[in-house]
A = this chain, B = another copy of it.
């Protein structure tokens, strides 16, 4: 297959690396406005060739992986669409799905099949220089098929991402995707940003941190050009998850205020059970 990666940044570069390292039957091309990155990627053998102008490579593409910010996706699809090859498969890496699908599907010609997807792999740093196929190993992947998609193409993409290292590749509805991502990813970012911003900067806290604080703030190296858009596009689910979190925080705070050890213990036992369930651990071996 001729695979074109549109946007050779951190995620796009990681796709190129992971495809190159784990498959042999594909040719990888890239489109980017950063000619320097393209040149480096060509010279290192990461891609066969890089292009600035989509019309030079899109007509040959069997699969296009859009690895760009959600707000750029629409204009790229519009400008690429006239050059799509018959039967081209498209996919994306966007962290929200309902609004993106609603925006993109009306733009698609009949001969193009856009299977929307979300690789749930770490990417706290921006740019090609941070790309790594390693971050995909064992990570989860969600596809959100719609009525437009061919089952065969969903199957092909599922196999491809499994081949390059992802595990638990699941197809869910766009709404389910946004609901669960609103919890596992967006709420986590809201909490982490709130935590680090509530630090008293006069205290020089970093001299006194343990692993807990570093863990809870690792994702605060956040990209402010991306995340506000994601939050707004998923506002309903995110606000509902913030409410749910706040309910638990209120209960625990009240228990602390009242020195109510029994309630605190109940909540901690519950959280420990959930920890063991999350990590598929047998709690009895640890007690």
Distance in angstroms from A269 CB to nearest chain B CB is: 5
Selecting from A11-19, A25-33, A101-109, A190-198, the interface stretch reads A190-198
Does A224 contact B275, Cβ atoms closer than 8 Å? no
Quick one: which of B188, B191, B198, B247 contacts A241, CB cutoff 8 A? B198
Contact of A245 with B by CB under 8 A: yes
- Interface residues in A93-141 (C-beta closer than 8 Å to B): 120-122, 125-126, 139-140
Quick one: which of B181, B242, B264 contacts A224, CB cutoff 8 A? B264
Selecting from A54-62, A72-80, A214-222, the interface stretch reads A214-222
Contact of A211 with B by CB under 8 A: yes
Chain B minimum-CB-distance residue to A226: B268
Chain B minimum-CB-distance residue to A218: B215
Contact of A205 with B by CB under 8 A: yes
Size class of A's contact patch?
35 or more
- The CA-CA distance from A119 to B213 in the complex, in Å, is 15
Quick one: which of B142, B170, B179, B220 contacts A275, CB cutoff 8 A? B220
Quick one: which of B203, B217, B228, B274 contacts A220, CB cutoff 8 A? B274
Tell me if A's interface is mostly helix, strand, loop or mixed: helix
Q: For A231, list chain B residues within 8 Å (CB).
A: 256, 264
Distance in angstroms from A184 CB to nearest chain B CB is: 4
Contact of A210 with B by CB under 8 A: yes
Q: For A257, list chain B residues within 8 Å (CB).
A: 235, 239
Chain B minimum-CB-distance residue to A197: B248
Does B185 contact A212, Cβ atoms closer than 8 Å? yes
Does B245 contact A216, Cβ atoms closer than 8 Å? no
**Residue among A120, A197, A247 facing the most chain B CB atoms (10 A cut-off):** A197
Contact of A227 with B by CB under 8 A: yes
Contact of A163 with B by CB under 8 A: no
Does B212 contact A189, Cβ atoms closer than 8 Å? yes
Does B277 contact A198, Cβ atoms closer than 8 Å? no
Q: For A193, list chain B residues within 8 Å (CB).
A: 248, 252, 267-268, 271
Quick one: which of B224, B245, B256, B268 contacts A195, CB cutoff 8 A? B245
CB-CB contacts of A231-266 with B at 8 A, as 1s and 0s? 110010011011011111101110011010100110
Does A215 contact B215, Cβ atoms closer than 8 Å? yes
Q: For A286, list chain B residues within 8 Å (CB).
A: 125-126, 221
**Chain A interface residues (CB < 8 Å from chain B):** 120-122, 125-126, 139-140, 142, 168, 170, 172, 179-181, 183-185, 187-201, 203, 205-225, 227-229, 231-232, 235, 238-239, 241-242, 244-249, 251-253, 256-257, 259, 261, 264-265, 267-272, 274-278, 280, 286-287
- 9 smallest A-B Cβ distances: which pairs? A224-B268, A194-B248, A120-B210, A228-B264, A188-B212, A184-B213, A198-B244, A220-B271, A194-B249
Can you sample 6 A-B contacts with CB below 8 Å?
A140-B209, A170-B207, A194-B248, A199-B274, A209-B278, A215-B218
